Chains A and B, each alone.
Chain A
Amino acid sequence: MDRVNDFAFKIATANGTGSASANGLIMQAIFRMGIPVTGKNVFPSNIQGLPTWYEIRVNKDGYTARTPYFDLMVALNAATYQKDVAEVRAGGYLLYDSTWPLDDKLHRPDVTYLGIPLAEMCNAAFTGVRERILMKNIAYAGALAALLKIDTDVLRALLKEKFGKKPALMDSNRKAVDLGYDFATTNFNCPLPIQLQAMDKTRDAILIDGNTSAALGCLYAGATVAAWYPITPSTSLMDAFRGFCQKFRVDEQGKHKFAILQAEDELAAIGMVIGASWAGARAFTSTAGPGISLMNEFIGLAYYAEVPAVIFDVQRTGPSTGMPTRTQQGDLMMCAYASHGDTRHICLYPSDPREAFECAVTAFDLAERFQTPVFVLSDLDIGMNDWVIPKLTWDDSYRPDRGKVLTAAELEAAKSFYRYLDVDGDGIPYRTLPGTHPKGAYFTRGSGHNRLGGYTEDSDEYTEVIDRIDRKIQRAAKGVPAPLIKAQPGRTLGLVTVGGCHAACVEAMDLLTKEGIAVDYMRIRGFPFSDEVTGFLESHDINFIVEQNRDAQLRSLLMLETGVPIEKLASVRYYGGFPMSAHHVITGVKARLEKAA
């Protein structure tokens, strides 16, 4: 049976050999053919020589979650043959370099072998060691074009866009594509039953990673100061921000309307953000879990002294160094309560690059409105992998919400100014910026202070301020994006998740429904939790809390913050480092239901 636009394949190579550009080419070609596609780059924490994989899932129905079942494996790394051949679905295909005899490790009776002498062909066609290695990748892309029926016009157009200005490279790439394509059409029955057919489902979409879209959000939000320390998987966020600033924020004299500070460590990076925000800029940092661990001290200062800050945590697998190039949602708990003493922070949970863009803008508004740090908890899968998302849009009437900042004129007219006085009764006091007006001066401190901003060691004065800050943050529950809820009356089961698990949950729910298990859905998008979150949990007998960490951190947060009894909160987890798949959700839900029955 032909499986048109519904299959997955995986390419196994060693990193540093140039396979990324070939894999990107394939992804983009499928995207241009109008077919929903997902690419997951499974890469090592290394620069050259270690195993790396690229997984491409094509799905006409638009399911974008990772699938662990592969119909075709391009096995080009001898070091991982055994593992790679085992991942092929029964009846699937394995493409290997037949320059050398088929390795014993690759034998499997239920797999069809497609041997292509990639090295031999490229050694004959190209000179120079580097070119021979690089063009092997383009040659397998050419072979896949024939085997999977990738539109060759699209492929040619892409090559032209990429190499149009470099004729020598263009020629090599074309030649390599043809080598692979011609060999496949001559020697195999092309296309395979797993094949592509043009659709019209990506016309208004873009192919983008969440770090790039988040950086774009920072640009559009009007951020002018960024401070960071390089760390996987967040580095590309700052790289992208720098690129956008160089395009859009350089004046006629070549002067920069931005400052990007590469700090000496994450402790300094967040300090710079707090300093810049205190001085009145929209400032942010991007980091991963280890960076947040270091930033905890300063985050407490920003919380207590009420200084805005925007922090992107592109989560990776912890604890400690963990697996830096694998994904996880391991920082939910840490970010919610980061720093010593009583603290609670606004957190936003984007589920894909589009929401990463939107959350970036929202984060700056909330940070300044509530005068407090705001976390955007993305993850490696959202941040570094390419996603097909609807085109980003922008409302030109948007103006930044700078919160309660007094101007020189307002200060001149004011009888007095006290930084921490709750004038409006909403828990949010007025701020001033350095240099505004002599009456605006105050002493910002992380030590005990009273509502007038003076130092205090008085019990009542201290409590008054710390309680007001608590009220202020609780109030932010209404300011964070509302949970996304899909519910029908009468259902007793709920599926609850955050962030990047969304794709797996959507697919799992459809599959469960087919099996007669109907569930309502809630994807939480912000912390502190709103009443809607509590209401959803209360109205279902069992809520399956789906997340990517060992300790059920979202479930813990829900228990602590909503007061919903633990019996109603069942945990479904996967935390091995890959993006979550639908089967993880289905298995978890069924196991719990069987236990109940």
Chain B
Amino acid sequence: MTFLPKPKVHHPALPKNELGLTRRDYEGTITTLCAGCGHDSITAAIVQAFWELAIPPHKVAKLSGIGCSSKTPAYFLKEAHGLNGVHGRMPALVTGANAANGEITYIGISGDGDSLSIGIGHLSHAIRRNVNLLYVLENNGVYGLTKGQFSASADRGSLSKKGEANTMEAIDGCLLALTLGATFVARSFSGDKAQLVPIIKAGLAHRGFAFVDVISPCVTFNDHEGSTKSYAYTREHNVEIVQADFVPPATEITAEYEAGSVRNVMLHDGGWVRLRKVAEDYDPTDRDRAYTYIRERQREGEVVTGLLFISPDSRDVHDQNNTVNAALTTLPYDQLCPGSSELERLQQRFR
């Protein structure tokens, strides 16, 4: 990873958001990933989502683990604090940072090795705690930086670049998240920006752990025939079942679709997620049904995408712990220290 700043020259006609910022203001340094890498498309979708939501970049913290995916926070939101931690343990860092200051918008970027092998324990427990975080798993089924080993998300039977078949079952991040009680579960494809951007926006607005698994082909080690994480395979097999749209707070919800096909789920900040069901028999607020549906379609060889599940009554870790509304980092010291006379009184207990 080298450090390539982007020139700061903007085209004067670039559109601006409510803050007067252009998309360029939400970018980072120039990517050093391989040309055509799915991760760069995800970065572009993240830039677009933050720009559309008009979140001040310096009110965001972006964290990651180790791996190709984990390099990408350098490539967006240059005015946000970044923390590139250790392999697999980004969820722990976010959990702590979020406990200290819950007023920041947190985005965590991870990969399939980072999330589903070395870090599966931390991911699982961050989901259980419902840490308020958008967690993007950039999923390519392969270890890129160490050159081509299968990852835990590689499907059984999928072929490596050398032609060896993977003999083990894949761990499906979405099924894992559903099982662990995740309050927001989505799957998308790096090549489908139209689907991905609204999912990212909804995930950022969701109060709680928003898990987004994005199939993001590795052009160098896993884009060949026989791989089930290639561009060609994913394009052919992905089936969108729920289209999500993020509706900002204070926007009137009007029924545009036939009754039954649209469902609006209110978010904590007053915004809405508008879910348009593409599959007739799907209910994105029914966890058990979502799980079964994904499994059934997997058996048919389909990769279902969209906002697969959302819980309308999500309580994040601060809600559960009943923390004060202000960030703990902003509490003045005199509210934290009981002082000398209280210490004197307290010590009667130890007499």
Residues of A bordering B, CB below 8 Å: 31-32, 206-208, 212, 216, 219-222, 224-225, 227, 248-249, 251, 254-261, 263-265, 267-281, 283, 297-298, 301, 305, 391-396, 398-400, 432-438, 440-447, 454-457
Q: Which residues from chain A contact B89 at a C-beta distance below 8 Å?
A: 267-268, 271, 297-298
Tell whether B80 is near chain A: CB-to-CB under 8 Å.
Answer: yes
Other A-B pairs beyond A271-B96, A281-B99, A435-B58, 15, CB < 8 Å: A31-B351, A221-B337, A222-B337, A225-B100, A248-B338, A259-B328, A269-B92, A272-B93, A272-B99, A280-B100, A281-B101, A394-B340, A434-B80, A440-B58, A443-B84
Docked complex Cα distance between A438 and B26 (Å):
12
Task: For A275, give the chain B residue with the smallest CB separation.
Answer: B96
Q: Which residues from chain A contact B56 at a C-beta distance below 8 Å?
A: 438
* Chain A min CB distance to B254 (Å): 35
Task: For B5, give the chain A residue with the smallest CB separation.
Answer: A454
Partner pick for A220 among B59, B86, B317, B337, CB 8 A cutoff: B337
* Chain A min CB distance to B289 (Å): 29
Docked complex Cα distance between A161 and B97 (Å):
43
Tell whether B331 is near chain A: CB-to-CB under 8 Å.
Answer: yes
Give the contacts of B311-350 with A (CB-CB under 8 A). Answer: 317-318, 321-325, 328-329, 331, 333, 335-340, 342-344, 346-347, 350
Docked complex Cα distance between A446 and B331 (Å):
29
A258 touches B125 (CB 8 A): no
Q: Which residues from chain A contact B125 at a C-beta distance below 8 Å?
A: 263-264, 268
Q: Which are the 9 A-B pairs with shortest beta-carbon distances?
A: A271-B92, A275-B96, A272-B96, A281-B100, A275-B93, A276-B96, A434-B81, A206-B350, A279-B100
B82 touches A442 (CB 8 A): yes
Tell whether B85 is near chain A: CB-to-CB under 8 Å.
Answer: yes
B347 touches A222 (CB 8 A): no
Q: Which residues from chain B contact A271 at a C-beta distance below 8 Å?
A: 85-86, 89, 91-93, 95-96, 122
Docked complex Cα distance between A212 and B73 (Å):
41
A256 touches B321 (CB 8 A): yes
A257 touches B340 (CB 8 A): no
Docked complex Cα distance between A367 and B31 (Å):
34
Partner pick for A264 among B97, B122, B335, CB 8 A cutoff: B122
A297 touches B86 (CB 8 A): yes
Q: Which residues from chain A contact B129 at a C-beta distance below 8 Å?
A: 261
Q: Which residues from chain A contact B296 at a C-beta distance below 8 Å?
A: none
Given the known A-B contacts A222-B333, A435-B103, A447-B84, are A393 and B96 also in contact in the complex, defined by CB atoms under 8 Å?
no
A257 touches B324 (CB 8 A): yes
Give the contacts of B298-318 with A (CB-CB under 8 A). Answer: 317-318
User: What are 27 pairs between A and B in contact, CB < 8 Å?
Assistant: A257-B331, A261-B129, A263-B92, A263-B95, A268-B122, A272-B93, A272-B96, A273-B96, A275-B63, A275-B93, A275-B100, A281-B328, A281-B329, A297-B89, A298-B85, A301-B86, A305-B83, A391-B344, A394-B339, A394-B343, A396-B339, A435-B104, A441-B57, A441-B80, A444-B82, A446-B84, A447-B1
Task: For B93, give the chain A residue with the smallest CB separation.
Answer: A275
* Chain B min CB distance to A31 (Å): 8
B350 touches A208 (CB 8 A): yes
Tell whether B78 is near chain A: CB-to-CB under 8 Å.
Answer: yes
Tell whether B159 is near chain A: CB-to-CB under 8 Å.
Answer: no
Q: Which of A206, A224, A269 has the most CB of B within 10 A?
A: A224
A283 touches B338 (CB 8 A): no
Given the known A-B contacts A224-B328, A278-B97, are A444 and B350 also in contact in the complex, defined by CB atoms under 8 Å?
no
A255 touches B347 (CB 8 A): no
Docked complex Cα distance between A221 and B57 (Å):
32
Q: Which residues from chain B contact A398 at a C-beta distance below 8 Å?
A: 337
A255 touches B324 (CB 8 A): yes
A301 touches B85 (CB 8 A): yes
A283 touches B58 (CB 8 A): no
Docked complex Cα distance between A259 and B83 (Å):
21
Q: Which of B56, B80, B328 has the most CB of A within 10 A?
A: B328
Q: Which residues from chain B contact A305 at a C-beta distance below 8 Å?
A: 83
Partner pick for B104 among A254, A256, A279, A392, CB 8 A cutoff: A279
A444 touches B84 (CB 8 A): yes
* Chain B min CB distance to A30 (Å): 13
Docked complex Cα distance between A447 and B73 (Å):
14
Docked complex Cα distance between A542 and B1 (Å):
53
Q: Which residues from chain A contact B136 at a C-beta distance below 8 Å?
A: none
Q: Which residues from chain A contact B58 at a C-beta distance below 8 Å?
A: 434-438, 440-441
Tell whether B94 is near chain A: CB-to-CB under 8 Å.
Answer: yes
Q: Which residues from chain B contact A392 at a C-beta distance below 8 Å?
A: 343, 347
Q: Which residues from chain A contact B350 at a C-beta distance below 8 Å?
A: 206-208, 212
A251 touches B339 (CB 8 A): no
Given the known A-B contacts A275-B83, A279-B97, A435-B58, are A456 and B3 also in contact in the complex, defined by CB atoms under 8 Å?
yes
B100 touches A438 (CB 8 A): no
* Chain A min CB distance to B134 (Å): 15
Given the known A-B contacts A301-B86, A455-B1, are A391 and B347 also in contact in the complex, defined by CB atoms under 8 Å?
yes
* Chain A min CB distance to B203 (Å): 19
B336 touches A224 (CB 8 A): yes
Tell whether B172 is near chain A: CB-to-CB under 8 Å.
Answer: no
Tell whether B251 is near chain A: CB-to-CB under 8 Å.
Answer: no
Task: For B77, give the chain A residue with the smallest CB separation.
Answer: A441
Docked complex Cα distance between A455 and B129 (Å):
33
Partner pick for A251 among B57, B79, B324, B342, CB 8 A cutoff: B324
* Chain B min CB distance to A9 (Å): 23
Docked complex Cα distance between A437 and B97 (Å):
17
Partner pick for A249 among B81, B336, B339, B351, CB 8 A cutoff: B336
Give the contacts of B85-123 with A (CB-CB under 8 A). Answer: 85-86, 89, 91-101, 103-104, 121-122
B340 touches A261 (CB 8 A): no
Task: For B340, give the chain A residue with the smallest CB separation.
Answer: A394
B101 touches A435 (CB 8 A): yes
Tell whether B273 is near chain A: CB-to-CB under 8 Å.
Answer: no
Q: Which of B73, B81, B91 has the most CB of A within 10 A?
A: B81
Binary contact track B134-154/A, C-beta < 8 Å → 1, others 0? 000000000000000000000
B96 touches A434 (CB 8 A): no
A257 touches B99 (CB 8 A): no
Binary contact track B3-40/A, C-beta < 8 Å → 1, others 0? 10000000000000000000000000000000000000
Q: Which of A206, A277, A278 has the most CB of B within 10 A?
A: A278
Tell whether B177 is near chain A: CB-to-CB under 8 Å.
Answer: no
Given the known A-B contacts A224-B100, A265-B121, are A443 and B74 also in contact in the complex, defined by CB atoms under 8 Å?
yes
Tell whether B196 is near chain A: CB-to-CB under 8 Å.
Answer: no
Q: Which residues from chain A contact B317 at a C-beta distance below 8 Å?
A: 261
Task: For B328, give the chain A residue with the smallest CB separation.
Answer: A224
Docked complex Cα distance between A277 and B96 (Å):
8
B329 touches A280 (CB 8 A): yes
Task: For B106, give the chain A residue with the smallest CB separation.
Answer: A434
Task: For A269, give the chain B residue with the smallest CB separation.
Answer: B92
* Chain B min CB distance to A390 (Å): 11
Given the known A-B contacts A224-B336, A261-B95, A434-B61, are A255 and B81 also in contact in the complex, defined by CB atoms under 8 Å?
no
* Chain A min CB distance to B69 (Å): 15
Q: Which residues from chain A contact B93 at a C-beta distance below 8 Å?
A: 271-272, 274-275, 278
Docked complex Cα distance between A445 and B3 (Å):
13
Q: Which residues from chain B contact A443 at a C-beta distance below 8 Å?
A: 73-74, 82-84
Docked complex Cα distance between A227 and B126 (Å):
13
Q: Which residues from chain B contact A269 at a C-beta distance below 8 Å?
A: 92
Task: For B330, give the chain A residue with the smallest CB separation.
Answer: A280
Q: Which residues from chain A contact B101 at a C-beta distance below 8 Å?
A: 279-281, 433-435
Task: For B73, give the chain A residue with the smallest CB separation.
Answer: A443
* Chain A min CB distance to B343 (Å): 5
* Chain A min CB distance to B70 (Å): 10
* Chain B min CB distance to A193 (Å): 29
Task: For A391, give the chain B residue with the smallest CB separation.
Answer: B347
B121 touches A264 (CB 8 A): yes
Docked complex Cα distance between A272 and B96 (Å):
4
Docked complex Cα distance between A206 and B81 (Å):
46
Q: Which residues from chain B contact A31 at a C-beta distance below 8 Å?
A: 351
Given the known A-B contacts A224-B336, A275-B97, A435-B101, are A254 and B3 also in contact in the complex, defined by CB atoms under 8 Å?
no
Given the known A-B contacts A279-B97, A281-B329, are A442 and B81 also in contact in the complex, defined by CB atoms under 8 Å?
yes
